[in-house]
Amino acid sequence: MPLNDSFSPLIPSLIPIGYTSEMARGWESKSVEDQMDNAKADRDAQATPRLSAQDRERHTRMQSLRLSRARIVSLLESARSERYRAQLERTLEHLDAQLREGETDADGDTER
């Protein structure tokens, strides 16, 4: 009796039926789930109002000014030199003025 013939009945019993089809379905369901998530993200992106280039620029500038102000406040808290503190305080006043001006501009644009 050849060696290959003695093992052939065992091979089908070792491999579960439908093994590859279950793997394909699992992969497909993940792909479908990803497609559904992408579609939802696209719908959410379209639902948010789109800003004009000028509004985006203003928003970016205001965010930058707020970050700069936070950094200056942090530096001011740890400053030891009176001259350096005075310079930081002037910078803080300047940033506050720019922030007020930016907020006033934004308020004026919404009233139009």
Are 70 and 95 contained in the same domain? Answer: yes
Residues 100 and 62 in one domain: yes
Residues 56 and 42 in one domain: no
Residue 112: pLDDT above 50? no
Q: Model confidence over 41-95: pLDDT tens digits?
A: 877 766 666 778 888 888 899 999 999 999 999 999 999 999 999 999 999 999 9
Is the pLDDT confidence value at 11 over 60? Answer: no
Tell me how many domains the chain contains.
2
The DSSP code for 17 is T
Question: Do 70 and 111 belong to one domain?
Answer: yes
Q: Is the domain of 79 the same as that of 30?
A: no
Residue 110 shares a structural domain with residue 83: yes
**Average pLDDT for the chain:** 77
Full residue range of the structural domain in which residue 16 is found: 1-48
Rounded (10°) angle between helices 53-78 and 82-110? 160
Burial per residue of 31-40, b for 16 or more beta-carbon CB atoms within 10 angstroms, e otherwise: eeeeeeeeee
Give the C-alpha separation, 83 to 73, whole Å: 16
Residues 71 and 100 both lie in one domain: yes
Cα 75 to Cα 59: distance, rounded to the nearest angstrom: 24
pTM of the entire predicted model: 0.51
- Asked if pLDDT for residue 21 goes beyond 80, the answer is no
